[in-house]
Chain A
Amino acid sequence: MFKGLDRNDIRLMLVVALVTLAAPLILNPFPADSAWAQFNAGYPDLMQRFVIYGIFAIGFNILFGLTGYLSFGHAAFLGVGSYAAVWMFKLLSMNVVPAVLAAMAIAGLFSLAIGWISLRRTGIYFSILTLAFAQMSYNLAYSVLTPITNGETGLQISINDPRVLDRAFGTAASDSVPYPDFFGLQMNDTASFEFFGRVFQFSVGYYFAAMLFLAAFYLALRLFRSPFGLMLRGVKTNQSRLEYTGINPRPYTLAAFVISGVYAGLAGGLLAAMDPLAGAERMQWTASGEVVLMTILGGVGTLLGPVLGAGFIKYFENILSKINDQILHQWFAFLPDGMEDFMVTLVSPFVGKGWHLTLGVLFMLVVIFLPGGLVEGFQRIGRLLARLVGRGRKPVSDDDKGGA
């Protein structure tokens, strides 16, 4: 499994695996009845989003980070994956396996078609083309294709769906809307454990998504280190030179485009598996922009960066947006009345409905001071620590390749 990878890569892979598997513990550091419980992220929905958007961003980074082609329409593949998955739930079976496979296949085909056309251009024209295709898909899904996508409401599962396979095997529930499962393990099954006031939730859905996330991460790692990956970096560095040496970069870029489309399809399929509804907003340009933000925030072209970026943005979206005035008043209750109101007024534009503002400010800070994204930040901290620890000893060799 680890053949051909160097020590740093193996270490990275194992750390990622450990953190992913232990996420329900790590993300729930605060007791449930403490004031800090607000910041706990260890509940199934958010953890699922971390790994799913992680997959999405990893895939996007294979295209953007390696070849330098900035696609502004990747959300279209996410959406197509979701619709494909929900249709599989409706027609075939509530088992997530055919749904996820179909999501990847359809998104792959879709990205092949769009990539085939868009990759005829480079730079800004490529970005605009992908943006146009994605907006087209969004508008189609929102209105014209309502019979297939159920428009604004979103495609949902209903009691009367055919579900051919489930009915053939006699596992179809008849009185209530079923939930996606993995051979009997329902995605929303959760085991909760209480431990010193902390409630740890181990959800089937999360671990299913986490396994696929680890597989996706491992594949991306192999791809980054492969000759194919080198070729893609070549495209980014200087495409003309590649052409002069007699290499046609199109097949490589198209392959990268389709691979990242399949990653997005997988993410979309998983979103539908965790919560069986596919909405058109998933394909909107804001969603496409979000994955660009995730990648840049985390660190373009690094393996871990997009995952960190995805986690960062989803955390802010889900945690910060829920801090309302009532909670702020609790926080500042220790202050005298006038001061309390003043502090609440000061902080409230940045939380609750103002979470976009905070995210924007942080994004600016990261881009200005850490052009390499969060990964660069961690590397700087790591080097600083190494220097502090290593003071008096012989200097630590700096063989960090920036691949972390």
Chain B
Amino acid sequence: MDTREDIMTKLHLTRRGVIKAGAATGAGLAMPTIFVKGAAAYTNEPKGSEVVFGFNVPQTGAYADEGADELRAYKLAVEHINGEGDGGMLNTFSSKALKGNGVLGKKVTYVTGDTQTKSDAARASARSMIEKDGAIMITGGSSSGVAIAVQSLCQEAGVIFMAALTHSNDTTGKDKKKHGFRHFFNAYMSGAALGPVLAEAYGKDRRAYHLTADYTWGYTQEASMKYFTEKEGWETVATVRTPLGAGDFSSYIAPVLNSGADVLILNHYGRDMVNSLTQAVQFGLRDKIVNGKQFEIVVPLYSRLMAQGAGDAVKGIFGSQNWNWQLQKDDAASRAFVKSFGEKYGFPPSQAAHVAYVQTILYADAVERAGSFHPCAVIEALEGYKFDGLGNGPVEYRAADHQCFKDVLVVRGNENPTSQYDLLEVYAKTPRAKVEYAPDNEFFAGGALGECNPGK
């Protein structure tokens, strides 16, 4: 048994330890950030012979397929930047700044992380890349919520964010950031591209019924589709929100037939789209004649990975895409990309892979042209940058909102696919002028880019 005194001596000893530790950490706290600021001109200034990129993609969850394909493309892009492999689209890219010796002579290495398609996990993963691994640039994302969350994190931390898969208007609209750049197209562009094509194919006198994924991307997609179809003279019968990951959509599809609508617009993505489309087709919606017209289904945002999931259900169904590997038929850049991706992995790349690859190349090229990794210099090099030869024809990174402007593809489910990858055919290319909008357009208003932030 211990005496009281015993406890006290022990306490004293440890207390002294506590005070010492406290003093040490106090000194650490008192030493302000000036200490760090002196060490680097900006966040994660690369000091050695290597530079680190952060690839933050969903590796688990509903968008894991897209994430896996993005990761493949990132690895390919790093190889090409470092001068390995066949160079892919670097050979067709209009800028010849990249020499195949890394970026500014530094070899590119990378770290990967799992966003789990959750804003929280994505930010934790991105923060560890920045704080621990010294990543100079973060790219990735397969959901607009995640992309927006990581984009604002990168703004605060002072690194560049090259958004990959994010289709919501908000990413370069009300949530746009100085440090965020988007090559992918958006919901407004999908609507603008699809509206006229649908009116031409299905007539101007149509009644549309929307099923919409109940979250921000769904809302912007629905609003855009509604706006552009109504502009063509269509009528919107109803817009119904469905919970994300519902799995069973039969209770949402049954009322469609009794509503008097003759077109069903599915504002769904990923597994939701696979399920809702498959079930709508199984319900026999497309065999029905309503108002004297054939019933039609539209999926505004397509991806080949989703088409693979939906199988035969996609045949003849319209949608839009950022890029499709079938472009290789008459585009040298796409051909080069499909070739080097196919040789490495044995199947053609998806649009997710394409955007991931292009964004990495664009960042590396901007650094090379700016002659510095300093985020402010890189931003300046990217703003208003016009380029060609990356698979979409001529493209411009608009300075006002960091959105890429280019032609948009309208695609249709292939009636006679020649392989399991040949599921979508390019139906039309809507020229850039038709999908362009002013930066203060009502769908995009309310945000501000803010200032460039070199961090510390």
Instruction: Give A160 to B112 CA distance when docked, in angstroms.
Output: 34
Tell whether, in the assembled complex, residue A279 and residue B244 are in contact, meaning their CB atoms are under 8 Å apart.
no
Tell whether, in the assembled complex, residue A177 and residue B155 are in contact, meaning their CB atoms are under 8 Å apart.
yes
Instruction: Give A385 to B18 CA distance when docked, in angstroms.
Output: 26
Measured between beta carbons, the chain A residues less than 8 angstroms from B451 are 175-176
Measured between beta carbons, the chain A residues less than 8 angstroms from B157 are 188
Instruction: Give the interface size bracket for B toward A.
Output: 35 or more
Measured between beta carbons, the chain B residues less than 8 angstroms from A337 are none
Measured between beta carbons, the chain B residues less than 8 angstroms from A192 are 35-36, 39
Instruction: Give A179 to B156 CA distance when docked, in angstroms.
Output: 8
Q: Is B114 an interface residue (CB 8 A)?
A: yes
Tell whether, in the assembled complex, residue A45 and residue B124 are in contact, meaning their CB atoms are under 8 Å apart.
yes
Tell whether, in the assembled complex, residue B29 and residue A202 are in contact, meaning their CB atoms are under 8 Å apart.
yes
User: How many interface contacts (CB-CB < 8 Å) are there between A and B?
Assistant: 167
Measured between beta carbons, the chain A residues less than 8 angstroms from B453 are 176
Total residues of chain A contacting the partner, CB 8 A: 60
Known interface pairs A18-B18, A207-B29, A352-B112; A43-B132 also in contact (CB < 8 Å): yes
Closest A residue by C-beta to B78: A326
Instruction: Give A43 to B60 CA distance when docked, in angstroms.
Output: 24
Q: Shortest distance in angstroms between A92's beta carbon and chain B's nearest beta carbon?
A: 20
Q: Which of B82-90, B212-220, B346-354, B382-390 contacts A (4 or more CB under 8 A)?
A: B212-220
Instruction: Give A279 to B109 CA distance when docked, in angstroms.
Output: 31
Q: Is B113 an interface residue (CB 8 A)?
A: yes
Interface string of A174-209 (1 = CB under 8 A from B): 011101000001001111110000000110100100
Instruction: Give A146 to B168 CA distance when docked, in angstroms.
Output: 15
Q: Is B276 an interface residue (CB 8 A)?
A: no
Interface string of B136-156 (1 = CB under 8 A from A): 000000011100110011011
Considering the complex, which residues of chain A in the window 135-161 have a beta carbon less than 8 Å from any beta carbon of chain B?
139, 142-143, 146, 150-154, 156, 158-160
Q: Shortest distance in angstroms between B45's beta carbon and chain A's nearest beta carbon?
A: 13
Measured between beta carbons, the chain A residues less than 8 angstroms from B217 are 152
Known interface pairs A142-B244, A143-B241; A156-B152 also in contact (CB < 8 Å): yes
Considering the complex, which residues of chain A in the window 325-361 have a beta carbon less than 8 Å from any beta carbon of chain B?
326, 352-353, 355-356
Instruction: Give A352 to B39 CA distance when docked, in angstroms.
Output: 32
Known interface pairs A153-B149, A279-B145; A10-B132 also in contact (CB < 8 Å): no
Tell whether, in the assembled complex, residue A190 and residue B128 are in contact, meaning their CB atoms are under 8 Å apart.
no
Q: Is A59 an interface residue (CB 8 A)?
A: no
Contact of A18 among B21, B128, B152, B215 (CB under 8 A): B21
Contact of A44 among B131, B145, B149 (CB under 8 A): B131
Q: Shortest distance in angstroms between A122's beta carbon and chain B's nearest beta carbon?
A: 31
Tell whether, in the assembled complex, residue A154 and residue B175 are in contact, meaning their CB atoms are under 8 Å apart.
no
Measured between beta carbons, the chain B residues less than 8 angstroms from A237 are none
Q: Is B64 an interface residue (CB 8 A)?
A: yes
Tell whether, in the assembled complex, residue B11 and residue A322 are in contact, meaning their CB atoms are under 8 Å apart.
no
Instruction: Give A44 to B11 CA distance when docked, in angstroms.
Output: 30
Known interface pairs A191-B28, A322-B113; A175-B125 also in contact (CB < 8 Å): no
Q: What are 12 pairs between A and B in contact, CB < 8 Å?
A: A10-B11, A11-B10, A18-B17, A43-B128, A43-B132, A139-B243, A152-B217, A153-B216, A154-B119, A158-B447, A188-B157, A353-B59
A residues sitting closer than 8 Å to B (CB atoms) are 2, 7, 10-11, 14, 17-18, 21-22, 40, 43-46, 49, 139, 142-143, 146, 150-154, 156, 158-160, 175-177, 179, 185, 188-193, 201-202, 204, 207, 271, 275, 277, 279, 281-282, 284, 317-318, 321-322, 324, 326, 352-353, 355-356
Apart from A153-B216, A282-B120: 14 A-B pairs, beta carbons within 8 A: A7-B10, A21-B22, A151-B215, A151-B216, A152-B216, A154-B148, A190-B36, A191-B36, A275-B123, A281-B121, A322-B125, A326-B109, A352-B114, A356-B60
